[in-house]
Every structure is written in structure tokens, then in C-alpha cells.
């Protein structure tokens, strides 16, 4: 019966197309904007502005100061139980803190921890988006890793930041076998009277560290 | 210029003063106006209600009557939109190649009144005088099919004595929609009530538009409410002068 | 095969269904507010992109191209999805789809499922079928949860509970979640849903989702959402079942660069919605062990066979046409009696049912064109509405209306007859005219004069004046 359903549907589609296709096939016009025109500084500025509009916090630092910046953040926020994504570079983490490894934790640990730390694959300035590629050992976590906790600290390197959506998809194309998640600000809903509420099921706090 | 008037069936029957105003206006601007008495209706009501077959003879009739006209002017954006949006498709579907060709040749010569004035004749100041507070309703077809933009407003701004007040939600439908108002009278009434509120909020004496169909609807509501606001086609305002004011 | 779109076949005609809704001042306020907010935000963020029109043109062309080769793209999607460890099922109609989903759930010995908002499953009536089969579905999208707990119907394809305000939601949650002290701030209500559902996400073994896009080249699926309930359902349960209309396939992963710009801006007025998930098949150690896609026809191939109306299948369910529609603004979604409300519902619902039901819907529009203007995939909804009216007229045969319309057409096809009719009307209207106005009319025009006057027909038509003037010269 299953094979029959498939054949019938395909036959109906073919019949319909024979009857109702009009005109010649023309190529898809792709004259929309592919790459943006901003220089690096304005691109970063735009990205930061967009993230803040989503209620995400942003800290900017130099590459050499990444570990200490993360240290100060954790200190300030009082986050003690922090878990790092598998493959996240240990050198980017500050001394004097204890980080648990992704591999050793259960869902309940993720649920209960103070925060998780990941990197990302690409970030998009125009939309204030971060794209995670959930490959093994990429330092970006599995999908649930950045979902169950209440806080997500994400390190974005300036060279990962593009301006437009098409630029990001061009970079992602080789990795379509890996699950991808785009994140634009903390989880939110506006289902009740169009009032935006932060943090329904995903993390309520998105903390971005932009490394120049 | 010799301008051939397509008055449209409901202006002919229900709003003759609009037609008279168009004639007066165009003649005042130095053009001669011609009115082929054989003309009837563009077929919009039939076509939009689902009687597409019945609309086809009306297309044929229109093409027949206006075949030789150089410049055709219609004081109704919805009728012009009917022609521009559907005539070619209808002619094509009829399988009549001659009709298809004639329609294609005719369509570029059909203009809505304000289009004719602004685009074809290059005018914004038509020398009108109309000392009243007026608000302008942008009818759906004028806005989204003909894309008239602010052409009617540009004409109104040059009218001496006229105080133009902006209508809120200017791009929102008044709820007429041809047979929609008959088939869905209650929803149409709800839409109208919002439009009336916006009109009354302007404290205008007169609401104008490029379509008498919408104005008939809006005026019908205003009159029922005894709102003391009238409605008048833009042609009548543009035709009005100090010597011969519109009443 | 029996095509079903929710309960649309039993729904009363639009003009009748609208009546009680027009009376509901609370509902109308809620609908006006919600659609107004999204509309303004949409205009703002769509206006921000200088290439908005180019993106619309590209999206429309991609969809056209896909439909032209729909059979090939579906087969390509199937092959790629299977190669990545997924399983693909084909369903001719709603019942077949529901049966497949139920069988898959039973094979996991599950008695509960968590669900991401999917209009397609509302179309097939999946929840009812699951309940009948002993499986309890939990809706996890906040709005869908409100609708489910309130035993209500969705009234908008993106914001299904927009007809409810905070205190109405509070009442539902208080009763159904057993939280008598619950406050009515949106924060409180959202927090209540969060803790109610988190336990379900961690426990329930099967999830059901829809799909925003199926990617033919990679076999991938893309889901667009805001709350994170989607990601929960996509990654925590062991088994994931996606139910998707056959028109959801697009040729390639790269095409997302177009749609993911258009969809969020059109749907919620955001530059990007909080989460998009894109995945292919199953992935060891991350997400479900089993992944199924049910490809649903349910009348779609019939729409494809109509040259003028097949553009209906371009729809990406952004809801922009609902928010822009002045008719929807008055009634909200329930008047349409279908899963799909608003302008898209008015063309999709009757077509899915082969024009056998919901014939009042193509007339539930003033043809103002606001829907076409905002549609990110450029569906010319007014054009399709008119075309479908033609099909309704064809089917209705010689009704009283048709006889009247034919008579009018005969009058309009000759100037002599038109003039005769004008004279007849000028003379014959007197019983209804007082002081130059008609205040009440009988029959089908009574609705007009219920709230509007009609100016009496002037004694002289334009053509009579013109003739007089020519003679006088
Ligand atoms: S028809 Fe267009 S505007 Fe309406 S929901 Fe579909 S894609 Fe959006």
C-alpha cells in the first residue's frame, strides 16, 4: 500500500504538470544582494547592535584577552557550574575555574548548570545571528547542549562574522551533513498579546564574546 | 488633444455629475472631448464575481467602440484596473488572435483621469478653486493596481482654497469590493465603520477619491449617520473654479 | 481518497460564521491589536532590505521551478533523506497520513507525543486521530498549547491564539494546569508553560513536527521557530516524525538564503527568528535515533493541475496576508472554518477540497490587493480568488444570481439596452426613494441598506445629458 501511495502521488503530480505548466522555464533571478558592503569595523558594530536589540549581552575583546574576558564575565555573573563544548579550545578558558566537559554530563546537568560555553561556525551581522554547526569535537556542542541550560556563552571570532545571510549560506554549504542551528537572541515568544517575552524553553540569556 | 471619454456604466447611471465635470475640466484645459454613445461597461462586476464568460462580450464591445480612439480617459481606477489586470488574459484565453492583438494595441491608450492629467498632460495645477476642507481616500485599485501613488494628492495640493487633511490608514479598504458588500454585508459594514471613523476624525467637509464606487459606499455610510460630511469625485473638485464653483 | 481540511467541510458559510465574531468586542480588539503590531513591524524590517523585491522575485521563481519538477525534487529529497538514515512515507490523504503517524508511534510503544506547531497536522486532524488511537498529544508551542487546553481552534497560521488576551489565557492555564494563583502577566503565563512542558520534553519518547522547508539536494529539513520548543522536540525524544505537504520541498540548501530572509520578516516582523534548525536524517549521539518524514498530498496535486491557481502552492505560511487583510482584521480566523484562515485560507481551503466545500471563501474578500502586496512569494491572491469564483459559478449552474448576472450582461452588451434599463430604473425606483435617497431595499440588497443609504438614481444619465448637449450645439 505504501508503494502504491507513492506511485499514485507521483503520477498525479506528473499528470497535473502535463496539463497545467505554461510558458518556458526561465532561470531563477538571483540579483538580490549577495555580499554586503560594510568594512570590518562597521560590520562588527552592526552585529553588536542587532544582538543588543535581541536582548543579548555582548562583550568585545582582543584575541589575547579572551581567557581573561571570559574569566571576568563568569566572575561578574557569579557563574560557577560551567560546561564547555567538546573541542572548545582549553587555551581560551581562564584559570581558577572548573569547567566540566560536555562528554561527562547528562541532561539533568545541563538543566542545572549555570552556563555552557561554545564557539560558533558563522555569524551574520545584518540579522544578529549565530550559526552553530553540531559536528563532533567542533567546540559548538551537540544540539541539546545549547538548549537545556538557561545561559549560553558563545565566542564569535571577527573572522567568522559575515554581513549578509547569503554570505553565511555560502560558507555553510560544505557542512550540510552536520545539523545546523541558527540562533538570533535568546528564546522568545510574543504569543500573548504580542508582548515579547524572553526565554520560553531555550536559554533565557545569550552572552556573546566577540573576539577582534 | 482629442480625448475620448469612457464614462463607465455606474458613473453614467449614478454619477453623471462626475462625467460632466470631466468634460468641463478637459475642455477648460483646451482639449476636445468625444463620447461614443455606443459604450457600455468594462465587465468588472461580472468578471470579479466569477462570471468571466459573461465579461468577454463586454471586452469585445469595448474594443469595438474605442478601436479608433487615440487617448481614452476613464474617471475610475477600478475599471482601468480591470482592463489592465485582466483584458489581455481574457483575450488570450478566448483564442481569438485578432481580439488579442486589438486589445494589446488599445490598452496603452487607456488612462485613468489623474494619470492622464499628471503623466500624459504633465499637469499638477489645473487652475481649480475649491474652498473646502478635503480628505482623500486612496482606493485599493488606484493604489495597488494602477500605482497612482501621490498623483491625485499632487493635483489636490494645487487647488486654490482647498485645505487638504491627511486620512489615517489611507491605504485600508473601505469594504465596498463590488459584490462583496452585497454578499458579505456585515463584514463590509464593519470595514466601513472603521473608514467612517477615520474620515470623521479629519473633520473634513468632503471626502474625495478617484473612484465613485468607494465614494458611493463611504457616502452611503456618512449619510446614514447624518455625519454632515459629503463625498465628491476628484474630477468635480478639479473642475470647480471661482467662476463656476462645484455646488 | 477523501481529502479533509480540518472540519472545513462542515463549517457554515463565511458570511454566517462571521456574525457572532463581529459581535465579540474582546476578540475584535485582540485581533486588531495583534495584526496591527505585526503589520507595522513587518513593514519596518521589510523596508530595511534594499533588495526585498528581488528576494520576492527569486522566491517566487524558485517555487515555480520546484512545482514544475515536483516529482523529481520529491524523489531526490527521499533518496537523500534515506541515505542520511531517515525514512520517508507517502500519504495520499489526511487519513492515510494520520494512520502512518499512529502506527509509527505505536511501534515505539508510546502513549504520548510532544508536538511542534504544525498546521499540516491540524489540516489532517491528527490530534483527534491520535486520541482515538489512545495516544495523547501535547502541543508545545505556547499558542497551540493555549488553543489545545482551551479546546479552541487556531485562528491564525503563525499566531494561533491571537484572539485570546492575557486574562483569557490565564483562566485556561489556571484550570488546566491546576494553578489557581497564576498571575496574568505574559511573563507568568510563559513561565507556567515552561515548567509544565519541560517535564514532557525530557520524558516523552516521540515528537511530531511539521516542516518549513524540505531540501531536495541534501535531504535536510528546516524548521523555523521562536520559543525553543521546536528544538526540544527535534532533539530530545528518541523518535521524530515530520509531516509535510509535498509543496514544502525546495531544490537546494542554498535556496534557504532567500527564504530565511523573507519568512521571519514577513511572519513576525523580526530580522531573524530566534531559532532555525536544519538537519539531515539521523546523527549518532545527537538527536533522535529514528527520523520519519510523511509526505502529504491531500488535494495538493489537484491544485497543481490548475494553471491559474497552482501558485497557491508557493505559500510558505508566513501569515503576512492575514495580518494585512482588512476582512481578517474584522473577523479573525474562525470565520474561515478551516485550519487556514485569511486570504491564503480563502484560496487554499476550497481548492484542497476540490471546490466541493467552502465555496463561500473565495467571496470573503473585497479584492483590495493588500495580501498580494505583502506576500513574500508573490502569490497573486486576488487573481486566484477571482479565478476560483469562476469555478464556483461554473459549478452552481443556473442559480438566481446567475440568471440576474446573465441578464445584466445582456443589458451591458448593447448601449440601447443599457439606456432602456437606465430609464426604467430612473422611473421605477420611486417606491424606495425619499428626498433623493434610498434608505431601505428588499432582497439581496437589504444588507447594503442595513447600514448605508444609497443615493437615488439621478433623473438624467450622463449619456442623456451628453446627447442633449450635442443637440443644443
Ligand atoms: S499566501 Fe503569501 S503572505 Fe499569505 S501566508 Fe502564504 S506566503 Fe505568506
Q: Which chains have 3+ CB pairs within 8 A of C? A: A, B
User: Looking at residue A189, what is its pLDDT?
Assistant: 86
Integer angstrom CA distances of residue C272 from A55, A124, A126, A187, C156: 14, 10, 9, 12, 20
Residue of chain A whose Cα is closest to the Cα of C51: A32
Q: Per residue in B124-175, pLDDT tens?
A: 999 999 999 999 999 999 999 999 999 999 999 999 999 999 999 999 999 9
Q: Which residue's C-alpha cell is 456574525? A: C19
Q: What are phi and psi of A151, to 5 degrees?
A: -135, 140
Ligand 1 atom at shortest distance from the alpha carbon of C374: 3
Is it the case that residue A1 has pLDDT exceeding 80? no
Question: What is the A200 CA–ligand 1 centroid distance (Å)?
Answer: 26
CB contact under 8 A, C61 and A26: yes
Strand partners, C434: C437
User: What is the mean pLDDT of the segment spanning A143-167?
Assistant: 96
Give the distance (Å) from ligand 1 centre to CA of residue C34.
17
| Protein residues with CB under 6 Å of any ligand 1 atom | C 266, 315-321, 344, 374-377, 379
Q: What is the mean pLDDT of residues A2-21?
A: 95
Query: Quick one: DSSP state of residue B171?
Result: T
Point out the residue among A14, A180, A201 whose CB comes nearest to the CB of C194.
Answer: A201
A153 contacts A207 by C-beta, under 8 angstroms: yes
At residue C435, the pLDDT reads: 86
Q: Which atom of ligand 1 lies nearest, measured to the CA of C157?
A: 5
Please state the atom number of ligand 1 nearest to the C-alpha of residue C318: 8
Any residues with CB less than 8 A from the CB of C5 and at least 6 apart, and which? C94, C123, C298, C299, C338, C339, C340, C349, C352, C353, C358
Residue of A nearest to C92 (CA): A5
Cα of C212 vs centre of ligand 1, distance in Å, is 13
**Domain B133-239: which topology?**
Rossmann fold (3.40.50)
pLDDT digit string, tens, across residues A58-79: 999 999 999 999 999 999 999 9
| A8 in C contact zone (CB under 8 Å) | yes
Distance from CA of C438 to the nearest CA of B (A): 9
Question: Phi and psi for C329 in degrees, rounded to 5?
Answer: -55, -30
Q: Which of residues 148-167 of A touch C (CB under 8 A)?
A: 165-166
C-alpha cell recorded at residue C247? 509543496
Give the number of C-alpha atoms closer than 13 A to the C-alpha of residue C328, restricted to the C-beta side: 31
Indicate which residue's Cα is closest to atom 4 of ligand 1: C321
Name every chain C residue with its beta carbon within 8 A of the beta carbon of A189.
142, 190, 226-227
Over range B61-67, report the average pLDDT. Answer: 97
Grid coordinates in use for B161?
Answer: 482654497
Which residue in B12, B50, B220 is closest to C452 by CB distance? Answer: B220
Ligand 1 centroid vs B93 CA: distance in angstroms? 27
Say which CATH topology domain C22-301 has: Rossmann fold (3.40.50)
Contact list in A for residue C70 (CB cut-off 8 A) is 13, 17
Q: At what angle do helices C142-149 and C166-177 cross, to 10 degrees?
A: 70
Chains C and A touch (3+ CB pairs under 8 A): yes
Cα–ligand 1 centroid distance for B79 (angstroms): 27
β-sheet bridge partners, residue A117? A84, A153
* Angstrom distance (rounded) from CA C278 to CA A176: 8
CB C304 within 8 A of CB C67: yes
CA of B145 to the centre of ligand 1 (A): 19
pLDDT in tens, B11-56: 999 999 999 999 999 999 999 999 999 999 999 999 999 999 999 9
Number of CB pairs, chain B paired with chain C, less than 8 A apart:
193
Please state, for a pLDDT cut of 70, what percent of chain C lies above it: 100
More confident residue, A198 or C404: C404
pLDDT tens, position by position, C116-165:
999 999 999 999 999 999 999 999 999 999 999 999 999 999 999 989 99
A200 pLDDT higher than 90: no
ipTM above 0.90, yes or no: yes
Domain ranges of chain B: 2-120, 133-239
Nearest CA to ligand 1 atom 3: C375
**pLDDT tens-digit map of C146-160:** 999 999 999 999 999
Tell if the CB–CB gap between B19 and C18 is shorter than 8 Å.
Answer: no
List the grid coordinates of C278: 536544519
Q: Is the pLDDT of residue C169 over 70?
A: yes
Q: What residues does each domain of chain A span?
A: 39-211
By alpha-carbon position, which residue is closest to atom 8 of ligand 1? C318
Pick from B12, B51, B187: CB nearest C331:
B187
C-beta atoms of A191 and C161 within 8 A? yes
The third-level CATH classification (topology) of the domain covering A39-211 is Rossmann fold (3.40.50)
Residue B57, min C-alpha distance to chain C (Å): 7
C-beta separation of A119 from A63 below 8 A: no
Whether residues C412 and B43 touch (CB distance < 8 A) is answered with: yes
Substitution site in C311, C343, C347 for ligand 1 pocket (most atoms within 8 Å of beta carbon) = C343
Section C309-322 average pLDDT: 98
pLDDT band at C292 (very low <50, low <70, confident <90, very high): very high
CA nearest to B231 within chain C:
C455
Give the three cell numbers for residue C159. 499566531
Residue B247: its pLDDT value, please?
Answer: 65
The cell numbers describing C43, all together, are 513593514
Q: Do A200 and C91 touch (CB under 8 A)?
A: no
Q: Flag if A185 and C278 touch (Cβ within 8 Å).
A: no
Taking contacts as CB-CB distances below 8 angstroms, the residues of chain A near C198 are 111, 201
Which of B14, B46, B183 has its CB closest to that of C15? B183
Dump pLDDT digits (tens) for B82-140. Answer: 999 999 999 999 999 999 999 999 999 999 999 999 999 999 999 999 999 999 999 99
Q: Quote the ligand 1 centre to C37 CA distance (angstroms).
A: 17
- Residue of C55, C256, C286 with shortest CB distance to A179: C286
Rounded to whole angstroms, the Cα distance separating B169 from B86 reads 28
Q: Judge contact between C280 and C219, C-beta under 8 A.
A: yes
pLDDT surpasses 70 at C86: yes
- Model confidence band, residue C3 (pLDDT cutoffs 50, 70, 90): confident
What is the reported pTM? Answer: 0.96
Residue C443 is predicted with a pLDDT of 80
3-state secondary structure chain C: CCCCCCCHHHCCCHHHHHHHHHHCHHHHHHHHHHHHHHHHHHHHHHHHCCCHHHHHHHHHHHHHHHHHCHHHHHHHHHHHHHHCCCEEEEECCHHHHHHHHHHHHHHCCCCEEEECCCHHHHHHCHHHHHHHCCCEEEECCHHHHHHHHCCCCCCCCCCCCCCCCHHHHHHHHHHHHCCCCCCCCHHHHHHHHHHHHHHHHHHCCEEEECCCEEECCCCEEEEEECCCHHHHHHHCCCEEEEEEEHHHEECCHHHHHHHHHHHHHHHCCCCCCCEEEEEECCECCECCCEEEEEEECCCHHHHHCCCCCHHHHHCCCCCHHHHHCHHHHHHCCHHHCCCCCHHHHHHHHHHHCCCCCCCCHHHCCCCCCHHHHHCCCCCCHHHHHHHHHHHHHHHHCCCHHHHHHHHHHHHHCCHHHHHHHHHHHHHHCHHHEECCEECCCCHHHHHHHHHCCEECCCCCCHHHHHHHHHHHC
Residue nearest atom 2 of ligand 1, based on CA coordinates: C375
DSSP 8-state secondary structure symbol assigned to residue B129: B
How far, in Å, is the centroid of ligand 1 from the Cα of C268?
12
Mean pLDDT score of chain C, rounded to an integer? 95
Find the mean pLDDT for residues C58-76.
Answer: 98
**Under an 8 A CB cutoff, do C274 and A188 touch?**
yes
Residue C187 has pLDDT above 70, yes or no: yes
Contact call for C365 and B180, based on CB within 8 A: yes
Residue pointed to by grid coordinates 497560521: C157
Strand partners, B36: none
**Nearest-CA neighbor of C42 among C433, C417, C323?**
C323
Amino acid at each position: 500500500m505504501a508503494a502504491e501511495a507513492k506511485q499514485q502521488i507521483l503520477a498525479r503530480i506528473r499528470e497535473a504538470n502535463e496539463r497545467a505548466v505554461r510558458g518556458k522555464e526561465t532561470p531563477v533571478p538571483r540579483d538580490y544582494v549577495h555580499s554586503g558592503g560594510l568594512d570590518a569595523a562597521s560590520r562588527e558594530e552592526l552585529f553588536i547592535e542587532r544582538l543588543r536589540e535581541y536582548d543579548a549581552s555582548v562583550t568585545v575583546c582582543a584575541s589575547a584577552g579572551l581567557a581573561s574576558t571570559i574569566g571576568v564575565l563568569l566572575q561578574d555573573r557569579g557563574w560557577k557550574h560551567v560546561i564547555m563544548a567538546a573541542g572548545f579550545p582549553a587555551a581560551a578558558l581562564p584559570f581558577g575555574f572548573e569547567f566540566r566537559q560536555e562528554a561527562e554530563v547528562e541532561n539533568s546537568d545541563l538543566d542545572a548548570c549555570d552556563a555552557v560555553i561554545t564557539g560558533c561556525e558563522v555569524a551574520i551581522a545584518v540579522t544578529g545571528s549565530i550559526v552553530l554547526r553540531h559536528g563532533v569535537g567542533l567546540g559548538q556542542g551537540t544540539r541539546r547542549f545549547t538548549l537545556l541550560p538557561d545561559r549560553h556563552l558563545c565566542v564569535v571570532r571577527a573572522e567568522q562574522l559575515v554581513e549578509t545571510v547569503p554570505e553565511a549560506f555560502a560558507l555553510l554549504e560544505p557542512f550540510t551533513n552536520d545539523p545546523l542551528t541558527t540562533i538570533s537572541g535568546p528564546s522568545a515568544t510574543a504569543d500573548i498579546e504580542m508582548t515579547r517575552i524572553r526565554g520560553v524553553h531555550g536559554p533565557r540569556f545569550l552572552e556573546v564574546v566577540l573576539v577582534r | 488633444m482629442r480625448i475620448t471619454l469612457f464614462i463607465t456604466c455606474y458613473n453614467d447611471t449614478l454619477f453623471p455629475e462626475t462625467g460632466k465635470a470631466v468634460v468641463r475640466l478637459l475642455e477648460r484645459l483646451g482639449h476636445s472631448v468625444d463620447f461614443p454613445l455606443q459604450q457600455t461597461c468594462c465587465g468588472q462586476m461580472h468578471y470579479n464575481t466569477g462570471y468571466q464568460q459573461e465579461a468577454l462580450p463586454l471586452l469585445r464591445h469595448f474594443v469595438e467602440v474605442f478601436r479608433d480612439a487615440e487617448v481614452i480617459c476613464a474617471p475610475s481606477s477600478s475599471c482601468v484596473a480591470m482592463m489592465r489586470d485582466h483584458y489581455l488574459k481574457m483575450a488570450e484565453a478566448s483564442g481569438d488572435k485578432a481580439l488579442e492583438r486589438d486589445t494589446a494595441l488599445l490598452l496603452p491608450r487607456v488612462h485613468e483621469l489623474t494619470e492622464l492629467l499628471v503623466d500624459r498632460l504633465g499637469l499638477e495645477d489645473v487652475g481649480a478653486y475649491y474652498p473646502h476642507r478635503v480628505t482623500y481616500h486612496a482606493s485599493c485599485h488606484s493604489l495597488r493596481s494602477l500605482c497612482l501613488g501621490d498623483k491625485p494628492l499632487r493635483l489636490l495640493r494645487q487647488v486654490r482654497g482647498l485645505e487638504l487633511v491627511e486620512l489615517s490608514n489611507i491605504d485600508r479598504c473601505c469594504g465596498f469590493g463590488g459584490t462583496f458588500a452585497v454578499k458579505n454585508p456585515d463584514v463590509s459594514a464593519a470595514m466601513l465603520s472603521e473608514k467612517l471613523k477615520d474620515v470623521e476624525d479629519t473633520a473634513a467637509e468632503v471626502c474625495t477619491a478617484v473612484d465613485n464606487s468607494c465614494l458611493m459606499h463611504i457616502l452611503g455610510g456618512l449619510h446614514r449617520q447624518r455625519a454632515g460630511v459629503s463625498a465628491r469625485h476628484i474630477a468635480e473638485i478639479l473642475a470647480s473654479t471661482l467662476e463656476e464653483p462645484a455646488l | 481518497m477523501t481529502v479533509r481540511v480540518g472540519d472545513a467541510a462542515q463549517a457554515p458559510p463565511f458570511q454566517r460564521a462571521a456574525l457572532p465574531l463581529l459581535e465579540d468586542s474582546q476578540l475584535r480588539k485582540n485581533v486588531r491589536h495583534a495584526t496591527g503590531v505585526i503589520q507595522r513591524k513587518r513593514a519596518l524590517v521589510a523596508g530595511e532590505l534594499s533588495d526585498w523585491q528581488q528576494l520576492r522575485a527569486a522566491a517566487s521563481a524558485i517555487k515555480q521551478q520546484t512545482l514544475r519538477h515536483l516529482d523529481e525534487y520529491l524523489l531526490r529529497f527521499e533518496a537523500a533523506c534515506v541515505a542520511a538514515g531517515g525514512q520517508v512515507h507517502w500519504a495520499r490523504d489526511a487519513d492515510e497520513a494520520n494512520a502512518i503517524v499512529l502506527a509509527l508511534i505505536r511501534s515505539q510503544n508510546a502513549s504520548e507525543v510532544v508536538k511542534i506547531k504544525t498546521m499540516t497536522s491540524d489540516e489532517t486532524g491528527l490530534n483527534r486521530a491520535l486520541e482515538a488511537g489512545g495516544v495523547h498529544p501535547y502541543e508545545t508551542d505556547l499558542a497551540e498549547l493555549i488553543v489545545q487546553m482551551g479546546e479552541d481552534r487556531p485562528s491564525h497560521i503563525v499566531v494561533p491564539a491571537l484572539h485570546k488576551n492575557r486574562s483569557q489565557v490565564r483562566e485556561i492555564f489556571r484550570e488546566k494546569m491546576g494553578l489557581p494563583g497564576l498571575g496574568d502577566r505574559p511573563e507568568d503565563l510563559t513561565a507556567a508553560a515552561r515548567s509544565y512542558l519541560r517535564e514532557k520534553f525530557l520524558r516523552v519518547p516521540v515528537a511530531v513536527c511539521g516542516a518549513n522547508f524540505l531540501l531536495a539536494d541534501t535531504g535536510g529539513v528546516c524548521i523555523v521557530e521562536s520559543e525553543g520548543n521546536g528544538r526540544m522536540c527535534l532533539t530530545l525524544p528518541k523518535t521524530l516524525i515530520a509531516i509535510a505537504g509535498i509543496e514544502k520541498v525546495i531544490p537546494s540548501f542554498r535556496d534557504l538564503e532567500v527564504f530565511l530572509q523573507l519568512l521571519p520578516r514577513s511572519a513576525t516582523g523580526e530580522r531573524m527568528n530566534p531559532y532555525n534548525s536544519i538537519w539531515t536524517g539521523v546523527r549518532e549521539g545527537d538527536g533522535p535515533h529514528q527520523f520519519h518524514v510523511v509526505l502529504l498530498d491531500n488535494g495538493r496535486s489537484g491544485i497543481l493541475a490548475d494553471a491559474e491557481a497552482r501558485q497557491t502552492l508557493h505559500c510558505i505560511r508566513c501569515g503576512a496576508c492575514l495580518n494585512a487583510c482588512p476582512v481578517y482584521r474584522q473577523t479573525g480566523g474562525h470565520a474561515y472554518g478551516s485550519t487556514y484562515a485569511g486570504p491564503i485560507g480563502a484560496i487554499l481551503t476550497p481548492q484542497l477540497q476540490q471546490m466541493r466545500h467552502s465555496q463561500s471563501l473565495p467571496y470573503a474578500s473585497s479584492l483590495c490587493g493588500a495580501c498580494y502586496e505583502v506576500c513574500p512569494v508573490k502569490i497573486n491572491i486576488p487573481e486566484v480568488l477571482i479565478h476560483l469564483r469562476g469555478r464556483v459559478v461554473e459549478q452552481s449552474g443556473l442559480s438566481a444570481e446567475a440568471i440576474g448576472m446573465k441578464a445584466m450582461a445582456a443589458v451591458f452588451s448593447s448601449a440601447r439596452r443599457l439606456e432602456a434599463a437606465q430609464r426604467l430604473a430612473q422611473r421605477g425606483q420611486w417606491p424606495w426613494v425619499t428626498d433623493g435617497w434610498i434608505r431601505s431595499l428588499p432582497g439581496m440588497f437589504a444588507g447594503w441598506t442595513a447600514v448605508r443609504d444609497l443615493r437615488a438614481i439621478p433623473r438624467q444619465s450622463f449619456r442623456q445629458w451628453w446627447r442633449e448637449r450635442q443637440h443644443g450645439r
